[in-house]
Amino acid sequence: MASKIDFKLDEAIEVLSRTPAVLRAMLDGLPDHWTSNNYGPETFSPFDVVGHLIHADEADWIPRARHILQLQGSKPFEPFDRYAMYEASRGKTIRQLLDEFAETRQQKLNELAALEIGESQLDLPGHHPQLGKVTLRQLLATWVAHDLNHIHQVAKSMAHQYRGAVGPWVGHLGVYPKS
């Protein structure tokens, strides 16, 4: 088994900075049926994912990082509405969302750089309303894992569109749940 790597802020930023381009490469210019369908009840379509990532960048990661730096766990974070993108994305195209995400992500990475977070600050405590005590390091690592999770979700949603078409290979592709 491969070893896990320790969190390094500069490496996290390298991953976070790539997400908008990855999603643009996967989704821009595709017909709506590729971007608007999900893979089952209570799952996100690729369109929903991009809207969700925009909302998370605006309302979650940097606001919570600032919260930790200022309050150090003395007050819980504001709850995060993981479904706010449904209203915010209404009437937009996937290209508009991809453009907005690229702009928002760059702005948030600039704000992160301006915080000048040092190694000693990464272990400052925060208070998540459901999870309890967390650290700034955990929050920022989760931002990276959250991006990767949603890239996976986009791929899974897209693969689902061909679930019936792949025939007997369905059982050999890890993107499909085992029946």
User: Considering only CA atoms, which of 48, 120, 111 is closest in space to residue 83?
Assistant: 48
**Does residue 136 fall inside a structural domain?**
yes
- To the question of pTM greater than 0.95 for the whole model, the response is no
User: Considering only CA atoms, which of 133, 111, 135, 131 is closest in space to residue 121?
Assistant: 135
**Does residue 3 fall inside a structural domain?**
no
Q: Are 54 and 101 in contact (CB under 8 A)?
A: yes
Which pLDDT does position 8 carry in this prediction?
A: 94
Q: For CA atoms 141, 146, 148, 149, give the dihedral sign.
A: positive
What 8-state DSSP symbol labels residue 43? -
Which pLDDT does position 96 carry in this prediction?
A: 98
What 8-state DSSP symbol labels residue 2? P
Name the domain count of the chain.
1
Q: Are 97 and 53 in contact (CB under 8 A)?
A: no
What is the number of other CB atoms lying within 10 angstroms of the CB of residue 67?
20
Which pLDDT does position 1 carry in this prediction?
A: 63
- Environment class of residue 147 by beta-carbon count within 10 Å: exposed (0-12), middle (13-18) or buried (19+)? buried
Report the C-alpha dihedral over residues 122, 127, 129, 132, rounded to 10 degrees: 90
Q: Are 171 and 178 in contact (CB under 8 A)?
A: yes
Which pLDDT does position 74 carry in this prediction?
A: 85
Which pLDDT does position 2 carry in this prediction?
A: 65
**Does residue 111 fall inside a structural domain?**
yes
Which pLDDT does position 26 carry in this prediction?
A: 98
Q: Residue 29 maps to which CATH number?
A: 1.20.120.450
**Does residue 179 fall inside a structural domain?**
no
**Does residue 42 fall inside a structural domain?**
yes
What 8-state DSSP symbol labels residue 124? -
What is the number of other CB atoms lying within 10 angstroms of the CB of residue 116?
7
Which pLDDT does position 4 carry in this prediction?
A: 80
**pLDDT 10s digit of each residue in the chain, 179 long?**
666 889 999 999 999 999 999 999 999 999 999 999 999 899 999 999 999 999 999 999 999 999 999 998 789 999 999 999 999 999 999 999 999 999 999 999 999 999 999 999 999 999 999 999 999 999 999 999 999 999 999 999 999 999 999 999 999 999 988 76
- Could you tell me the residue range of the domain that residue 74 belongs to? 9-172
- Return the structure tokens found at 164: 């019936």
Give the C-alpha separation, 78 to 59, whole Å. Answer: 9
